[in-house]
Amino acid sequence: MISKNQDIPTPEVCTANIAAVRDALYVLNGKWKLPLIVTLLNGAKRFKEIQRSLNEITPKVLSKELKELELNGFLERKVFNTFPVSITYELTPYSESLDEVIESLRSWGEQHRKHLVKGRRLESVLQDH
Amino acid sequence: MISKNQDIPTPEVCTANIAAVRDALYVLNGKWKLPLIVTLLNGAKRFKEIQRSLNEITPKVLSKELKELELNGFLERKVFNTFPVSITYELTPYSESLDEVIESLRSWGEQHRKHLVKGRRLESVLQDH
DNA sequence: CAGTATCCCTCCGGATACTG
DNA sequence: CAGTATCCGGAGGGATACTG
């Protein structure tokens, strides 16, 4: 999509491309999506387990985030007919399709932070973590 | 970073990785960053020109977005001592470092939308554009 | 033209309490 | 345990008006 002064796509294509990028950003957006995915990397977890591993995310927010990730096909909610019922969440194979995107974001983000540090304007630009 | 059941990084590394991803997301976030970058791809533009090309973004918001992009080193603000003064904004060489990230977001976003359409749950997951 | 100043509204996410 | 219900504050962004 990006290409300075050469083979600029038509406006329609360009809009579609922006939309695609926004879709991707949208899906990973918010405070908890990444931590949530990461915490499920080493296997299925239950609601309360996830909550504990994520430095006390509130149940309302956790519930919402899990639903979104499930709708996106990144994780599966499994119900076990024990008593009381137990429920687990685990990453789907499809979630692996995120690997490349996340890795490219990660490496660019890392590089960019260094770039800003060199220019000494880190604070004015990026958030604290 | 993502790697199911194998070579899980230490918690510290993992946190740093998440931070890097968040940095990258942060920089591209918001309604106007991408359209703004795209509109500057075919050359320097003045404030009012940008405003017109971006379906009437308000001046306050445009001003803020331009400042952020400038602080990130993606564009340069040039002042010309004409009368009245004219000012242009143009992408820097550093902005090209975004190409890969954006392309990977674009292609994943495109693929993901198709994936959702197949599963018929597009509406519940992605935004309209 | 190139912005700044004010006001306003919505939505995200947090706090807290409660239910099957 | 696995969530839902309610209330709430702050940030992002829009509308409108004004300035050098």
pLDDT tens-digit readout, B67-107: 999 999 999 999 999 989 999 999 999 999 999 999 999 99
Q: Rounded distance, CA B126 to CA B113, Å? A: 8
User: Rg of chain B over CA atoms, in angstroms?
Assistant: 19
| Cβ–Cβ gap B125/A24 under 8 Å | no
The sheet with strand A75-80 has its strands ordered as: A45-46, A86-91, A75-80
Say which nucleotide is closest to residue A58, CA to C1' distance: C14
Q: Is the pLDDT of residue B7 over 70?
A: no
User: In three state form, how does the secondary structure of B29-46 look?
Assistant: CCCCHHHHHHHHCCCCEE
pLDDT at A120: 72
Contact A95, A74 (CB under 8 A): yes
Domain-embedded: residue A51: yes
Tokens 């590394």 map to which residue? Answer: B13
| Number of independent structural domains in chain A | 1
Spatial CB neighbours of A101, under 8 Å, sequence gap ≥ 6: A24, A28, B104, B105, B108
Tell if B90 CB is < 7 Å from nucleic strand C: no
Higher local confidence (pLDDT), A40 or B11: A40
Once rounded to an integer, what is the mean pLDDT over residues B32-54?
A: 96
Which nucleotides in chain D lie closer than 7 A to a protein CB?
1-6, 12-17, 20
Residue contact B106–A21, C-beta within 8 A: yes
Cα(A4)–Cα(B36) distance, integer angstroms:
14
CB A72 within 8 A of CB A80: no
Whose CA is closest to A72, among A95, A49, A105?
A95
Q: What is the pLDDT of residue A119?
A: 80
Residue A6 lies inside a defined structural domain of this protein: no
What pLDDT score was predicted for residue A126?
A: 86
Say if residue B122's pLDDT is above 90: no
Average confidence score pLDDT of chain B: 92
Query: Å between B31 CA and C7 C1'?
Result: 21
**Contact predicate B91/B38, CB 8 Å:** no
In this structure, is residue B35 part of a structural domain? Answer: yes
**Which residues of chain A, if any, have pLDDT below 70?**
1-8, 129
In a domain, A76, yes or no: yes
**Is residue B31's beta carbon less than 7 angstroms from any atom in nucleic acid strand D?**
yes
pLDDT score for A70:
97
Specify whether the CB–CB gap between B19 and A19 falls below 8 A. no
Establish, for the pair of chains A and B, how many residue pairs have beta carbons separated by less than 8 Å: 181
B111 touches strand C (CB under 7 A): no
CA of B104 to C1' of D2 (A): 37
* B6 domain-assigned: no
Residue A100: the pLDDT is: 95
* Residue B103 located in a structural domain: yes
The neighbouring-strand residues paired with A80 are A86
Tell me, what CATH number does A89's domain have? 1.10.10.10
**Cα-to-chain-centroid distance, residue A24:** 9
Question: Is residue B119 a part of any domain in this protein?
Answer: yes
Q: Please give the span between the terminal C-alpha atoms of chain B, in angstroms, as a whole number.
A: 31
Three-state DSSP state, B20: helix
Domain contains B2: no
Tell me which residue range forms the domain holding A16: 11-128
Closest residue (Cα, C1') to C6: B60
